[in-house]
């Protein structure tokens, strides 16, 4: 921890304002080069508390920078975690207002919903599978509050890992019926295949990112409550979006999920 | 190209393969070479193998991914021939250092046919009907052209750069798996190096076989019952060397492993 309470509150407010006004910032480590992980998660937690106080509901948790492609793209080696809210929830097949974002990107993911609390430290893959009610396909909408997605690891953590919205849908399935790592995924933008991958691109197994999330939360004295919707992390590189783009994600055994930006 | 030149190039490629040497790109030594010339050379290359006692067991489709199409600046696939000498079973040691030149591994879905497919006019429904089952496989591509400096006519003449094939040991009916979303996970020496899905090959591996049946049909060639048809790589090419071991898993289909010595 390198920052005092006031500075953390100030940076959280700045990031919230950037989101609200769609006016991107430069990464906060430019001004606070010593900012560490703990500071960054403290800023994210402050943003979360502020949203909750304003009546926003937290609808789930997310992992980010989990795929090899993503890690290469962002030049990082470990995942980051954030939260999802009802402000960014869109229906499967629905329309997403393009103007709500600064420069949106999307990622295709496998999401899961738990039926049992997960508590770190020491949480591992098998515990995650045992606690999983079902998995389903999802699309995450990313929108950095930093100009042109130019950030480092701690800056993106402070910015709630660029979380901006999500769509879940398709065909929910029990995990014991599936070989999760080999499930294939196809992303189509305006009817053209733009990405193909398999779920193993997320840390070898998507449930691994949930175990890491539980262990990360434990360091902050938190758990993953039963009934939590968790986006396990992008399987492909993020895809840039223009107004009018239609996205369909098909996942083997899990059906499809789609959205369009109007 | 006249028949003599076609024979000469086919012989040169056969000699390069058996001698583990390479020849200069045909597109350099004969810049006017056409796609048709290249397929005739490929056919003569095959005739040499058959004359030496090899047996035709199938065909392969290449240049199915956007990345390879961009690299070769072409917008359609190509094909080559598979012989019994090229086929290995999962877990096999492929003696790369004594039989191959510059091998690269690709992960694919193999179709095994129970009926002939004779284009033109073949549809995806015909392909599914004619397919007994699909299987996981590695195609180890190799180039008899110096340093892989290939344009489309070079790779076609060189049997679509086919080296050897490693077949998995599990087969699934094509009606039991969604081939376009079917995932693939490839590891090299225990590390995941690539993942992909069936749609990486022309939108679906089924599209690839349909394309081949119609393309060969136009040349009077059928896909025959019992043949193995490699439908095109779903991941980027991975250069391999002796000592490497590779594994792939295809979602809902099975696995395949190979070691290189």
* A186–B182 CB contact, under 8 Å: no
Length of chain B in residues, anyone? 261
Beta bridge partners of A85: A58
Q: Which residues of B178-200 are buried (b: 16+ CB within 10 A; e: fewer)?
A: bbbbbbbbbbbeeebebbbbbbb
B236 — alpha (psi -120 to 50), left (phi > 0) or beta?
A: beta
Query: Could you tell me if residue B72 is inside a domain?
Result: yes
- Cβ-contact B246, B257 below 8 angstroms: yes
**B32 in a structural domain:** no
Interface check for B234 against chain A (CB to CB < 8 A): the answer is yes
Locate the domains of chain A by residue range. 58-261
Q: What is the ipTM of this complex?
A: 0.91
- Residue B225 sits in a domain of what CATH number? 3.90.850.10
Q: Is B229 helix (H, G, I), strand (E, B) or coil?
A: strand
Out of B185, B197, B252, name the one closest to residue A186 (CB): B197
What is the dihedral angle through the alpha carbons of A16, A22, A28, A30, rounded to the nearest 10 degrees? -160
What CATH number does domain A58-261 carry, 3.40.50.1370, 3.50.50.60, 3.90.850.10, 3.30.70.270?
A: 3.90.850.10
Indicate whether B4 belongs to any domain. no
**What range does the domain containing B148 cover?**
55-260
Q: B20 in a domain, yes or no? A: no
Candidates A201, A250, A253; nearest CB to B195: A201
> pLDDT tens string for chain A (262 positions)?
899 999 999 999 999 999 999 999 999 999 999 999 999 999 999 999 999 999 999 999 999 988 766 677 667 766 899 999 999 999 999 999 999 999 999 999 999 999 999 999 999 999 999 999 999 999 999 999 999 989 888 999 999 999 999 999 999 999 999 999 999 999 999 999 999 999 999 999 999 999 999 999 999 899 999 999 999 999 988 999 999 999 999 999 999 999 999 9
Cβ atoms of A128 and A211 within 8 Å: the answer is yes
Half-sphere exposure (CA, 13 Å, Cβ side) for A203?
Answer: 24
Domains identified in chain B, total number: 1
CB spacing of A253 vs B178 below 8 angstroms: yes
Q: Is A48 exposed, middle or buried (0-12, 13-18, 19+ CB in 10 A)?
A: middle
pTM of the model: 0.94
Which of B65, B233, B251 to substitute to test the interface with A, most A CBs within 10 Å?
A: B251
Nearest residue, CB atoms, A200 vs list B178, B182, B195: B195
Phi/psi region, residue A160 (left: phi>0; alpha: psi -120 to 50; beta: rest), is left
């Amino acid at each position: 921890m390198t920052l005092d309470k006031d500075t953390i509150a100030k940076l959280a407010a700045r990031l919230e304002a950037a989101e609200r006004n769609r006016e991107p910032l430069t990464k906060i480590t430019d001004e606070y080069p010593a900012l560490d992980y703990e500071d960054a998660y403290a800023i994210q937690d402050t943003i979360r508390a502020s949203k909750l106080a304003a009546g926003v509901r937290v609808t789930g948790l997310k992992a980010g920078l989990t795929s090899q492609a993503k890690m290469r793209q962002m030049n990082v080696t470990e995942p980051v975690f954030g939260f999802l809210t009802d402000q960014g929830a869109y229906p499967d097949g629905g329309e997403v207002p393009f103007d709500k974002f600064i420069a949106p990107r999307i990622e295709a993911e496998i999401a899961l919903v738990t039926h049992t609390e997960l508590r770190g430290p020491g949480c591992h893959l098998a515990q995650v599978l045992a606690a999983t009610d079902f998995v389903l396909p999802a699309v995450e909408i990313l929108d950095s509050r930093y100009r042109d997605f130019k950030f480092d690891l701690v800056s993106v953590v402070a910015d709630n890992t660029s979380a901006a919205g999500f769509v879940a849908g398709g065909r929910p399935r029990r995990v014991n019926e599936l070989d999760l790592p080999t499930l294939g995924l196809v992303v189509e933008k305006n009817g053209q295949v733009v990405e193909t991958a398999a779920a193993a691109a997320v840390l070898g197994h998507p449930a691994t990112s949930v175990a890491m999330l539980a262990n990360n939360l434990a360091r902050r004295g938190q758990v993953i409550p039963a009934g939590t919707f968790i986006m396990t992390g992008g399987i492909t590189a993020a895809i840039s979006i223009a107004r009018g783009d239609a996205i369909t994600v098909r996942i083997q055994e899990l059906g499809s999920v789609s959205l369009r930006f109007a | 190209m006249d028949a003599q030149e076609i024979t000469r190039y086919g012989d040169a490629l056969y000699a390069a393969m058996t001698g583990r040497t390479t020849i200069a790109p045909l597109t350099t030594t004969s810049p006017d070479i056409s796609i048709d010339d290249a397929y005739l050379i490929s056919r003569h290359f095959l005739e040499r193998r058959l004359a030496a006692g090899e047996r035709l067991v199938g065909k392969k489709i290449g240049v199915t991914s956007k990345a390879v199409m961009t690299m070769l600046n072409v917008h359609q696939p190509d094909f080559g021939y598979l012989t019994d000498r090229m086929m290995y079973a999962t877990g096999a040691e492929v003696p790369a250092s004594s039989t191959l030149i510059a091998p690269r591994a690709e992960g694919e879905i193999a179709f095994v046919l129970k009926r002939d497919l004779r284009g033109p006019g073949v549809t995806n429904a015909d392909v599914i009907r004619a397919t007994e089952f699909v299987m996981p496989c590695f195609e180890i591509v190799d180039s008899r052209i110096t340093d892989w400096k290939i344009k489309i006519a070079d790779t076609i003449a060189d049997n679509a750069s086919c080296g050897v094939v490693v077949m998995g040991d599990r087969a699934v009916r094509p009606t039991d798996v969604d081939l376009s979303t079917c995932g693939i996970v490839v590891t090299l020496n225990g590390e995941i190096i690539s993942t992909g899905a069936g749609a990486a090959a022309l939108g679906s591996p089924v599209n690839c076989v349909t394309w081949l049946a119609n393309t060969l049909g136009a040349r009077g060639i059928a896909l025959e019952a019992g043949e193995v048809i490699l439908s095109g790589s779903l991941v980027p090419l991975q250069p391999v060397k002796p000592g490497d071991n590779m594994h792939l898993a295809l979602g809902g289909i099975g696995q395949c492993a190979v070691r290189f010595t």
